[in-house]
Structure 1
Amino acid sequence: MTAEQLISFARGAPSLDIVDVAGLQAAAVRALETDPVGATAYGTSVGYLPLRRWIADRHGVPAEHVLVTNGSLQADAFLFDALLSSGDAVVVEEPTYDRTLAGLIDRGCQVHAVPLAPDGIDVDALRALLESGIRPKLAHIIPNYQNPAGVTLSVDKRRSLLSLAAEYGFTIFEDDPYVDIRFRGQELPTLLSMAGDAGATVVRASSFTKTVCPGVRVGYLVGPAQLLASIATTATNLYISPGMFAQATVHQFCVSGDFDKSVATVSAALAERARILGEELTAQIPGVRFTAPDGGYFLWIEFGEDVDADRVAAVAAEHGVAVVKGSDFIRGGGRHALRLAYSAVTTERIPEGVRRLAESVKAVRG
């Protein structure tokens, strides 16, 4: 099957038609014209300094509290290596991002999964876990338009989570690459911005992958200066510096105003795709359940126990539609769920993609 025939709901990446290629081209030219040395030299492990300052200003922190990396997944890895050792307890959401889950398991961490509700992590279940004697070093939280579930952590639950972190002494890792892709509702305060009042420690990560384009591979951490200085030493030994040209290009893209335009374009396009996907799923697959996301890239769908989603994913591939099975995101579970990424599928192709998926579900049920 050719790439043109395949309809992929598998990867959370924007399709080319909503990437501002012209804006990126102009930003790259400006980066070379305005700062040829900075854009082409090695730089330092903290990242391209003008972009570091732009991110710091955006979060209301000193630049020393920002480290720019080659994508946010690398930021995750740096943080895990700095804070965690084999055997340490870590809290994650259930379901959670499969690569984060794999990274924690590979490091020998004791992973404790806490269920998600439509308004985010079940803080009562988390408190019960803590009261049982579990003492995590870290809680990994995706607060906005969670991957894979698409849900958003409510303000009340943000306060409760911060209170628990302060009471039991664990760090919250606020992994937030989707925050800018909002379809409806008001912008919610970040956990980082609320941490001081609660007396909690929060380290925040985000990325330009979802708002600019995946190819730039620019992410970042915001957190305590001493922790980031330690990570910077590790980064220096690993690669001297991240990609300065990519970061200089992103900086020019941001300061020109093209970043805000790109966010608006991507958000509008994905809102329409999410709406159509939800309507088609409801119309074509009886009994399917999901929570419509308020933003982001993903829809988590659940079937009854008569549908083995692992088998559906395999049959769907034969029908020319790619999905990700729910069992990738839950250890020992998720066998009746799938994650659908609507970001790379145009509105014209979504109905056909759902039709193929519906045929696959029927085949498995049959």
Structure 2
Amino acid sequence: MTPEQLISFARGAPSIDIIDVAGLKAAAGRAFDADPVGITAYGTSVGYGPLRKWIADKHSVAPEQVLITNGSLQADAFLFDHLVKPGDAVVVEKPTYDRTLLGLRNLGAELHQVSLDEDGLNVDELRALLESGVRPKLAHVIPNYQNPAGVTLSLAKRRALLDLANQYGFTIFEDDPYAEIRFRGDALPPMLSMDIAGDAGQRGVVVHASSFTKTVCPGVRVGYLVGPTEIIGAIARTATNLYISPGQVSEAIVYQFCASGDIDRSIQTVCAALGERARVLAASLREHIPGVRFTEPDGGYFLWIDLPEEVEVDLVVPEAAARGVAVVKGSDFLLEGGNHSLRLAYSAVTVDQIDEGVRRLADAIRAVAKQN
């Protein structure tokens, strides 16, 4: 591999070798054979009916509680637009997905970042914030293999968060596109299911979002919301005015891919490949970058690293780019701070690229350290 070949740890997207292209082609053929009239026509704003029912069955809810969107980022935007007005308090994780911060800032929300521990959101810190008088409209949480930190919200903290939402009257937005991408450990129940079941007495405080981007492929652009019927109905009316219906063809392809069971095989492929990549990345970081700190993820696409205090990532990023490796600085995911942190995505790099990429990154870090 030559230095000119870019090794990118920047983008949270799967490499082509783990996308089931043949399965998607077959699913497309079945979709057009099964419902040529339905998928080539305008649909309704709630999305393609068979897929809507498949999602509803997956989450043990009524179809009326499901809205399919053009990707989960649009699902996020719909819910933010529906619930958040200028000046409303919103709790987000620290760090959190950069586009979450952008979307909420554009709405004029008053953002409160709550720290992450190795087992997810620091609920004691959130409780103190609430006891201080802050009354959030919404708490945005990525519970599984969080973007960018890679950590998972523990079962005890899921229960505690539901208790706080019930007590203080805010909505939990469970943004959960990575749940299926698990390498080890037991799957934890989504807060949506705990809410529906009345765990600890809650009812209707969770809106759940997910996507087929990570389990099928990004290009299908199919995401969804699951929540209380009144919220989903109101957002569906907004969607009708915006675009009449989301993409019926892509949703029908995803439906056929899911209904056939191909999605299960796809998830197994992705989990096996990304699990190996995450292990190799962690080992390479320990070997080549002295003083690096991180929590090795149990799933997902991302690993967050903290570098020694003397290493400024504003300087590391261009030095790394000059050596043919792309990374994302931690400050992009925070309202303040993150100047010594990086997010590394291992989803798009093959195993044979990882060690070379980390060596280049280590060289960039050494170059920055010499400048101090």
Question: 4+ residue stretches of structure 1 with deviation over 2 A?
Answer: none
Residue of structure 2 equivalent to 1:230: 234
Distance 2:4 2:75 in 1: 34
Match of 2:202 among 199, 203, 217: 199
Distance in 1 separating the partners of 2:33 and 2:322: 49
Counterpart for residue 154 of structure 2:
154
Partner of 1:217: 221
Q: Hey, what does 2:312 align to over in structure 1?
A: 308
Q: Is the 8 A contact 2:310 2:369 kept in 1?
A: yes
Q: Give SS of 2:234's match.
A: helix
Q: Which residue of 2 aligns with 1:170?
A: 170
Equivalent in the alignment of 1:347? 351
Which residue does the alignment assign to 1:26? 26
One-letter code aligned to 2:227 = G
CA distance in structure 2 between the partners assigned to 1:298 and 1:364 by the alignment: 24
Give the equivalent residue in structure 2 for 1:80: 80
Q: Distance in 1 between matches of 2:306 and 2:314?
A: 12
What is the TM-score with the length of structure 1 in the denominator?
0.99
Counterpart Cα distance in 2 of 1:327 and 1:240:
38
RMSD: 1.1
Instruction: Find out whether 1:267 has 2:271 as its counterpart.
Output: yes
Checking the alignment, whether the CA contact within 8 Å between 1:277 and 1:342 is kept in structure 2 is yes
Contact 1:75 1:221 in 2 (8 A): yes
Report the Cα distance in structure 2 between the residues aligned to 1:52 and 1:141, rounded to whole angstroms: 24
- Given that 1:310 and 1:326 are in contact with CA atoms closer than 8 Å, whether structure 2 keeps it comes out as no
1:101 aligns with 2:101: yes
Distance in 2 of aligned mates of 1:175 and 1:110: 19
Residue 12 in structure 1 maps to residue 16 in structure 2? no
CA offset at residue 255 of structure 1?
0.5
CA distance in 1, matches of 2:144, 2:275: 15
CA distance in 1, matches of 2:238, 2:327: 36
1:251 to 2:252 alignment: no
Amino acid at match of 1:100: T
Distance 2:148 2:206 in 1: 22
Shift of 1:4: 7.7
2:321 is paired with a residue whose SS is helix
Describe the SS at the equivalent of 1:116. Answer: strand
User: 2 CA distance for matches of 1:286 and 1:4?
Assistant: 25
Q: TM-score, normalised on structure 2?
A: 0.97
1:319 maps to which of 314, 323, 326: 323
Question: Could you tell me which amino acid in structure 2 is paired with residue 254 of structure 1?
Answer: C
Provide the rounded CA distance (Å) in 1 between the counterparts of 2:217 and 2:4. Answer: 21
Q: Distance in 2 between matches of 1:305 and 1:265?
A: 38
Q: CA deviation at 1:199?
A: 1.4
Q: What is the alpha-carbon distance in structure 1 between the residues aligned to residue 239 and residue 64 of structure 2?
A: 15
Aligned length: 365
Deviations along 1:202-223, one digit per CA (max 9) or x if unpaired, are 0000000000000000000000
- Three-state SS of the structure 2 residue aligned to 1:340 is strand
Q: Can you give the 5+ residue segments of structure 2 that lack an aligned partner in the other structure? A: none
Q: Distance in 1 between matches of 2:120 and 2:247?
A: 35
For 1:62, the equivalent position in structure 2 comes to 62
1:285 maps onto 2:276 in alignment: no
Written as runs of structure 1 = structure 2, the 5 A alignment for 1:35-50 is: 35-50=35-50
Give the alignment partner of residue 360 of structure 1, picking from 356, 360, 364: 364
Q: Is 2:245 aligned against 1:241?
A: yes
| Cα distance in 1 between the residues matched to 2:153 and 2:9 | 24
Deviation at residue 311 of structure 1 after TM alignment: 1.3
Secondary structure of 2:351's partner? coil
- The offset of 1:3, in angstroms, is 11
Deviates more, 1:207-216 or 1:312-321: 312-321
Pairing partner for 1:333 from 320, 327, 337: 337
The aligned counterpart of 2:187 is: 187
DSSP 3-state at the match of 1:349: helix
- Quick one: distance in 2 between partners of 1:73 and 1:276? 30
Instruction: Return the letter of the residue paired with 1:171.
Output: T
| CA apart distance, 1:310 | 1.8
Q: Is the 8 A contact 1:320 1:356 kept in 2?
A: yes
1:100-121 deviation per Cα after TM superposition (whole angstroms, max 9, x unaligned)? 0111011100000000000000
Distance across 2 between alignment mates of 1:118 and 1:58: 29
**Match of 1:140?**
140
CA shift for structure 1 position 317: 0.9
Question: How many percent identity over aligned positions?
Answer: 70
Aligned AA for 1:262?
S
